[in-house]
Amino acid sequence: MYDNTNRPKRESPIVTETVSDKVYRHLKDAIIRGDLRRGQRIVQEQLTEELQVSRTPIRDALQRLSAEGLVVSKPFHGAVVFELSESELHELYDIRILMENYACEHSLDTMSKDQLHAMEVLNDRILSNRNDVHACMACDSEFHMIACCSNNLHYIKPFLDSVWDKSNPYKALYYTVPRYVEETYKQHKQIIDCFARKDRARLSQSIESHLRDVVHVVSMNPLFHDT
């Protein structure tokens, strides 16, 4: 029998980020943060000067963003950032409720103490950064990622990522009102407690209540109707 105990381990391939990847990440972050407003035209000439790149990686990045629904192509306008809509808000969060309940149910029995602690730390950071929309969103995203993905559900993760990306601009409107941050903090505490107690029924109710509250608050935000 061939003995490969002394065989050198194969090194993992080094993945280098291309210029297209960097442009894609830059634009995606700007859209999710709200630096690029809904319906805003993306001018390729400006991006070539701003990012000091050619048009090819910009076109590649826009194609990827278009496939994800974050950018749409309009006649006589070119690429524009997708616009918010009340119907999409409800649809996205209905999907989030279904998917996150499914994912969290599978995470319930595998959630570790370290992961619960990480969720507590992130929740505390949300509260302490109540006046920083971007910081709140970053911590919120990480919180939900841990809650949903502690069981390594490989197939649902890409779908969750897509829905989270599309719902982030709506979530940004939620975090423009600091007093609602305290509500999120309380709701997240309930979710953490459900994981700690392994309370499956209450966990499902807490997740749905939390996400429904986001929909209600965003739909009442004047900025939502001005987009």
Q: What is the pLDDT of residues 159-195, one digit of tens each?
A: 999 999 889 888 888 887 888 999 999 999 999 999 9
**Residue of 12 and 108 predicted with greater confidence:** 108
Q: Are 208 and 139 in contact (CB under 8 A)?
A: no
For the entire predicted model, the pTM comes to 0.72
In percent, the amount of the chain with pLDDT more than 70 equals 90
Q: How far apart are CA 214 and CA 90, in angstroms?
A: 10
Is position 6 within any domain? no
Q: Which of 13-22, 48-57, 60-69, 157-166 has the lowest mean pLDDT?
A: 13-22
Phi and psi at 77, nearest 5°, equal: -120, -30
H or E stretch covering 126: helix 113-128
Q: Mean pLDDT of all residues in the chain? A: 87
Q: How far apart are CA 206 and CA 189, in angstroms?
A: 10
| Domain carrying residue 53 | 19-81
Is position 198 within any domain? yes
Of the candidates 65, 81, 97, which is a domain's last residue? 81
Of the candidates 81, 106, 135, which is a domain's last residue? 81
Domain at 26, CATH number = 1.10.10.10
Region 39-43: what's the mean pLDDT? 90
Instruction: Answer whether residue 94 shows pLDDT above 70.
Output: yes
Whole-angstrom CA distances from 27 to 15, 31, 57, 71, 167 are 21, 6, 12, 10, 16
- State how many domains the chain has: 2
Q: How far apart are CA 14 and CA 21, in angstroms?
A: 15
Region 124-151: what's the mean pLDDT? 92
Q: Count CB neighbours of 81 within 10 A.
A: 22
